[in-house]
Amino acid sequence: METKTTNVQIVEFSPQYAEGVAKMWNESRDNWGGDDSVMTAAQVLEKESNSTNLFLYLALVDGEVAGYCSLSEYREDSNALYIPLLNVHPDYHGHKLGKQLVLNAVNKTVELGWPRLDLFTWAGNTKAVPLYKKCGFFWEDRDDSVHLMNFIPTILQLECLKPFFDKYSWYDTSKRALEVKPDGYKHNGYTFYEYEWSADDAFVKVRFERTSRKLCYVETNDFKVEMVHPSFKTLANKESLMEYKVENKRPNAISVQIQANQEGAIQHQASFTNLVEEEVIFTAPVTVHYYEQEPNDWKTHPTMEATVTLDGYDISLGLGVYPILPVSIKLASTNQLFEANKNPKLFLEVESLVEEIGTLKVSIPSNDILTLHDQSIEMSLNKKQRTSIPLSTSLLKGGAFNEEIMCTFSTNGEEITFQTRLRFAFPTKTDSFVAETTDKWLIFNGRYYASLEKRNNTLSLGRRGKGDHALPFFAPKLGKPYADEWTKKEAGQIKVEKTDAGITFVSVLSSDLKPGLHIESKVFLSNFGLYDMSYRLVLDGSQEAQNVSWVQSFVPLVAYTYIPMGEEVLRLKESHVAFNDYLDKRHYSEPWTFTEKDGETIGFAWSANVVHRRDEWKNAVELTDIDVPESVQTSIPLATVSLAYNHFSSWEEWREEVMGEQEPLREVGPLTLEQTDGQIIVKDNKPSVSLKSRLHVPVVGELVAGNEGTTIQNSEEDLSVSVEVEMEPITLVNTSFTSPNTKVEETLLYLQPNTSTVSVEEVENGHWKVTNGDLQFSVHKEYMAGVYSIVYKGEEWLHHTYPTPSMKAWWNPWTGGLRYRFGGMNSFSLQKEVSEVKAVTKLDSKGNEWSGVEVTTTIVHHEKFKGTTLQQFFLTLPGLPMITTLAEWRASEDKLFAGERIFCDGFWNPGDELATVTYDSKIRGQKEYYAGAGELILIDDPYARLRSAKLADALHIVQPKYVFEKEAYVTKEVCYVNTETEWTLQAGETTHVQPTIHLFDNRDLRPYMEQLRGITFK
């Protein structure tokens, strides 16, 4: 049951209402699919300041925002305003707020003198359809969208109808049926929309034709006027008759004038003047010439127009037309990519567009792109028949086939000769070319392409192959306020340039709203699938001095995408994270994204001088406060955008390409359970668990860690819970978070040192031992400048020949052990250098104090690295069965180093018998490899585990994530595990590598090893 809220105000939006608008949207989420996004007042202000709205109206109930209705110029077609967004708070459904907002928009459209008001909705929003129809909208019967058009503004601006509508309300006297289905009745191929009003003895009846968006019938108590054409689809270049019917219902004669309006390729010579006593039917010839570009449902069709004047009152009438040839002929193929010197699967798609049986003869020429083995084709066609004819052809090279063909269609003794153009693009893996079709421009370079739609200047960058992947960039906008002026007209200039490196496509858009300003968009498509776009603001010298802004919108890459977020990179592989509303200003902290799905990758980047922001449902890059000088001819660079299809294998590679060498980012998911503040090391038997949400959504659910739990309601902050458990040195805690629509589970690893003291002592000159409970490791400064022995629970784990080097496999001399070394320094060179050892304590990034030894080697003999100082740290925590190794080094003061390598070498032999050692690998699935047998080389294993059949415990080796290479080399003689890190330093600079962690435990901890990479040092 509907009720009417009386204390309603319709007001224009101002910043004071931002908080209320945000609240309304947050409480209306269930009406828009039930997503979890959260709107803030700041986001409302940003959104509205950047919108193309002409007006934004709010419905206030007792001062609270309860409804929202925006009004803008319709971007897809001319002569219409548009309601981009309409919403009523769910608490006020049925209170007629929607009606008041829509009628306000209709009245504003009339006030501004626009003839039409449009809106879109979605097919499931059927409950709103009666409201829209009652307010004058017609639901257009289309497959691609739910589009509604309202012609009430045209009617209320007709002088001849004012006597009725000045006296009666058009809303209250309407007689339309409000059925929840598309509108219109069809006749002669046309679709008509009909309004009717009646009150007392008066009535008005009008009819609009769908494709012209024009009146074609008006009837009142005094007169009736109608425009009639025999067919919507009309044979081009063939004369037909337009019929005008005028009926006079008044006792006195009325003056009638009919004057056709010429439009483009429509020839309509209609001119009539007379007094009409009762009725007149006037006919006039009309000829429509052929449009190669087919009419489009998104835009007004070519229109046959005339002005009918009754006693001095003008009525503009019109009917759309779809000019056709007797037969439609097109090329088609099942291929997306072609090969030169092969026979493509090519078809001639033929469709008879007339109601007669006939014979078609077609002559198709060959050219330097395509050879047709049979250039003449003849076939019989039934009325309205469609057929597909395979063609015998040879493709000579990739390129654009663009030829006029001669056709003859014979029917009923009449022969119709006509020309039509066949256009088809043949992209190959190697050729580059430009192609123009009736509706777009295309450039190809191999399988990669760019296409520019003529009707709305949408530029799509994509690739042919397994599917057709394309990223659309919409027409740019100038402001502020921003306007969609380039979504309705073609680019003024198009230029193409080919070079050995690739192909460049340039389009220029000229502004009518800001005369003298032009946007030049340049796309360079390289031979390797890399797109570089640049945008410039071109001033032709006729412009006024002004301050402008520019924005370029594009479809956001969200699902299966990596997005930088401060010190983290957010991994959105979860398929439900597909909406831009979930992201906010915390995201896109660097100018790039990387998408990876089904073996395909897309790297996307933009120049650092622009701001990345949302633009309605889209993303955009924006440059504001551009100072434009008066009467100066120049151009101003705006931005660059780069796109790489399948050129980079990981987000890390793409980030380095865009940003250069940077500190690594931690890869995380949108909702994670992790150690609070990354503190994996605890000291009070109370590990703390945090739930971190990196999306702009409220968190609702239950967080459980161990046996502890807490309920979370509508929180946008990170939540944590402390768990009191019986801690071991290495403890695993099961955690989970359950919400109404998802469950996240994670086993977290914690380390708890005890209160003992790590013993670090020099047992004799240069010989040091570090003892930590069951763990002991040893260093001698003259042996190998590293740890030569690691003993755990009385068993040796390192492979070495201390105190005397020997020869083994490829190494001579060979010392074994665990150490860092520079690439390019062989074992002999290392033996020449002098090292010093001392006890050391070092704080990690979370403030935990580690103890151990520091081995410092200042290189004095090696010519290349002379003057470079290498510091190695071998550290542990009290009571923890682990050794952490890291290195820092300082370049000599007189030399630059570029592209060098540093290795972390470890030779292992647990149980002192290689034949009993197993190396567990996670490369291409979990596998076991056995030492002491054949030769194996394993590359880029993320986590290594070594164990011996003789020992209960295993050694887990956690290497840094970002290194040049990780390698394990296992033979009959050695089990060698190393990392290789690339480094570059200027003279006197210092750098470091992230630690390598060695952890002993009798469990398989590899599923949790990634968490240990959170241990870093200051």
Q: How far apart are CA 505 and CA 459, in angstroms?
A: 11
Is pLDDT at 718 greater than 70 in this prediction? Answer: no
Structure confidence at residue 713 (pLDDT): 65
Confidence of residue 6 (pLDDT cuts 50, 70, 90): low
Do 541 and 613 have their domain in common? yes
Q: Output the DSSP codes for 77-126.
A: SSS-EEE--EEE-GGGTTTTHHHHHHHHHHHHHHHHT-S-EEEEE-TT-G
Per the structure, the complete domain to which residue 977 belongs is given by 759-1014
Q: Is residue 463 part of a domain?
A: yes
Average confidence (pLDDT) over 107-136: 91
Q: What is the pLDDT of residues 888-907, one digit of tens each?
A: 999 999 999 999 999 999 99
Quote the tokens at residue 583: 């992201």
Q: Which of 903, 932, 713 is nearest to 820 (CA)?
A: 903
Confidence of residue 715 (pLDDT cuts 50, 70, 90): low
Do 413 and 533 have their domain in common? no
Structure confidence at residue 913 (pLDDT): 85
Do 353 and 399 have their domain in common? yes
Confidence of residue 924 (pLDDT cuts 50, 70, 90): low
Q: Is residue 1 part of a domain?
A: no
Average confidence (pLDDT) over 114-119: 96
Do 940 and 834 have their domain in common? yes
Q: Is residue 113 part of a domain?
A: no
Q: Is residue 141 part of a domain?
A: no
Tokens 């990354």 locate to 678
* Tally of domains in the chain: 5
Structure confidence at residue 261 (pLDDT): 86
Do 693 and 827 have their domain in common? no
Q: What is the pLDDT of residues 588-645, one digit of tens each?
A: 899 999 998 888 899 999 999 999 988 888 889 999 999 999 989 999 999 999 999 8
Q: Is residue 153 part of a domain?
A: no
Higher pLDDT, 744 or 873: 873
The answer to whether 708 and 673 are in contact (CB under 8 A) is no
Is pLDDT at 859 greater than 70 in this prediction? Answer: yes
Do 721 and 784 have their domain in common? no
Structure confidence at residue 2 (pLDDT): 46
CA 433 to chain centre: 27
Confidence of residue 108 (pLDDT cuts 50, 70, 90): very high
Q: Is residue 305 part of a domain?
A: yes
Residue ending a domain, among 366, 401, 426, is 426
Residue ending a domain, among 397, 426, 455, is 426
Quote the tokens at residue 874: 């071998």
Structure confidence at residue 696 (pLDDT): 75
Pairing of strands 214-220, 936-939: unpaired
Contacts of 127 (CB under 8 A, 6+ apart): none
Do 255 and 386 have their domain in common? no
Whole-number percent of the chain with pLDDT over 70: 96
Do 739 and 600 have their domain in common? no
Is pLDDT at 62 greater than 80 in this prediction? Answer: yes
* Residue 651 backbone dihedrals phi, psi, to 5 degrees: -65, -30
- Find the length of the chain: 1018
Whole-number percent of the chain with pLDDT over 90: 63
Structure confidence at residue 576 (pLDDT): 46
Higher pLDDT, 160 or 490: 160
Q: How far apart are CA 838 and CA 855, in angstroms?
A: 7
Q: Is residue 98 part of a domain?
A: no
Angstrom distances, CA of residue 775 to CA of 184, 786, 790, 917, 957 = 86, 17, 7, 20, 16
Residue ending a domain, among 726, 751, 776, is 751
Q: How far apart are CA 933 and CA 456, in angstroms?
A: 68
Do 436 and 568 have their domain in common? yes
Is pLDDT at 466 greater than 80 in this prediction? Answer: no
Residue 475 sits in a domain of what CATH number? 2.70.98.10
Q: Is residue 13 part of a domain?
A: no
Q: What is the pLDDT of residues 304-359, one digit of tens each?
A: 999 999 999 999 999 999 999 999 999 999 888 899 988 889 999 999 999 899 99
Contacts of 312 (CB under 8 A, 6+ apart): 255
Is pLDDT at 1 greater than 50 in this prediction? Answer: no
Is pLDDT at 5 greater than 60 in this prediction? Answer: no
User: What is the model's pTM?
Assistant: 0.84
Structure confidence at residue 749 (pLDDT): 94
Pick from 410-414, 426-430, 987-991: least confident: 410-414
Confidence of residue 979 (pLDDT cuts 50, 70, 90): very high
Do 877 and 977 have their domain in common? yes
Average confidence (pLDDT) over 98-121: 95
The answer to whether 476 and 551 are in contact (CB under 8 A) is yes
Is pLDDT at 941 greater than 80 in this prediction? Answer: no
Do 549 and 633 have their domain in common? yes
Give 841's DSSP letter. Answer: E
Structure confidence at residue 836 (pLDDT): 95
Residue 382 sits in a domain of what CATH number? 2.60.40.10
Q: How far apart are CA 406 and CA 722, in angstroms?
A: 82
Average confidence (pLDDT) over 221-236: 94
Do 840 and 966 have their domain in common? yes
Q: What is the pLDDT of residues 178-209, one digit of tens each?
A: 999 999 999 999 999 999 999 999 999 999 99
